[in-house]
């Protein structure tokens, strides 16, 4: 999977695979149904997971094929976990768990205050041994960056040391926010959009990711 460099402060990895670009275009369309949105997000998350798990540690084991014994590589233990920022982050879990079905999953519930646009926490449930795991934090949208920054702060408070943030869409504002508060956390995204409107929504974006995933208004 190829990547393109970004000029923005935190140097996010912008995934540039043709399949990702194609599926993201279909996802953005206003006429795409709820079922279509769910399918596309699942497919995109699977492709994003490929990049997010690129450097997981490996170990060599002896196996027997139908023809002979050989030395082969496998993942070195349950090193990774996924953390979903509720509620829209759950839409990214299915594809990732298709690839890494043994990974434990944590959830952090945040909502955006409509006046201040700041993140307010209402739920937190995390896997055990979080300090020794790679924590892949997922949320479809990196808009203002406040929710993502708040989630990463809480995870660090709980002991997380190896963090990665994965999103479908991002903005220069959101990237700058994470750069300011969490310069040590890499960001993987499918696109960096133009920016935010007066309500804090990504433009051109794809609408409200949670509403489009779950068929709500």
Q: Is 48 annotated as a binding residue?
A: no
| SS (HEC) of 123-159 | EEECCCCHHHCEEEEECCEECCCHHHHHHHHHHHHCC
Strand segments, DSSP code E, in the chain are 3-4, 13-15, 58-64, 69-75, 80-86, 105-112, 119-125, 134-138, 141-142, 162-170, 187-192, 195-196, 202-203
User: Looking at residues 84-106, what average pLDDT do you find?
Assistant: 93
In which band, very low, low, confident or very high, does the pLDDT at 137 lie, cut at 50, 70 and 90? very high
Tokens standing for residue 95: 């594809």
**pLDDT tens-digit map of 3-22:** 343 333 348 999 999 999 99
Cα 176 versus chain centre, distance: 17
How far apart CA 147 and CA 109 sit, in angstroms, is 10
How far apart CA 73 and CA 160 sit, in angstroms, is 27
**By percentage, how much of the chain surpasses pLDDT 90?**
76
Q: Is 195 annotated as a binding residue?
A: no
User: Looking at residues 69-94, what average pLDDT do you find?
Assistant: 91
Q: Is 202 annotated as a binding residue?
A: yes
All structural domains of the chain:
3-214 (3.40.50.2020)
The pLDDT of residue 8 is: 36
**pLDDT tens-digit map of 29-75:** 999 999 999 999 999 999 999 999 988 889 999 999 999 999 999 98
Mean pLDDT score of the chain: 90
Q: 119 or 45: whose pLDDT is higher?
A: 45
User: Looking at residues 169-180, what average pLDDT do you find?
Assistant: 95
Residue numbers annotated as active site: 112, 116, 208, 211
Tokens standing for residue 58: 């490996």
How far apart CA 215 and CA 38 sit, in angstroms, is 10
Q: Is pLDDT at 191 greater than 80 in this prediction?
A: yes
């Amino acid at each position: 999977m190829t990547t393109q460099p970004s000029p923005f402060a935190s140097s996010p990895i912008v995934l540039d695979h043709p399949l990702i670009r194609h599926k993201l275009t279909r996802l953005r369309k206003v006429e795409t149904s709820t079922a279509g949105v769910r399918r596309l997000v699942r497919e995109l998350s699977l492709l994003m997971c490929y990049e997010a798990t690129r450097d997981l540690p490996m170990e060599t084991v002896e196996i027997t094929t139908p023809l002979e014994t050989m030395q082969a590589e496998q993942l070195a233990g349950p090193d990774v976990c996924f953390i979903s920022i509720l509620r829209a982050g759950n839409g990214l879990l299915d594809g990732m768990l298709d690839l890494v079905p043994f990974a434990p999953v944590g959830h952090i519930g945040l909502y955006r205050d409509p006046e201040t646009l700041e993140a307010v926490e209402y739920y937190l449930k995390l896997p055990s041994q979080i300090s020794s795991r790679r924590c892949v934090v997922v949320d479809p949208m990196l808009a203002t960056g406040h929710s993502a920054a708040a989630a990463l702060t809480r995870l660090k408070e709980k002991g997380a040391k190896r963090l990665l943030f994965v999103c479908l869409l991002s903005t220069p504002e959101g990237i700058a926010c994470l750069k300011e508060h969490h310069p040590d956390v890499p960001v993987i995204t499918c696109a960096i959009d133009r920016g935010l409107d007066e309500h804090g929504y990504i433009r051109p974006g794809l609408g409200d990711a949670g509403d489009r995933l779950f068929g709500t208004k």
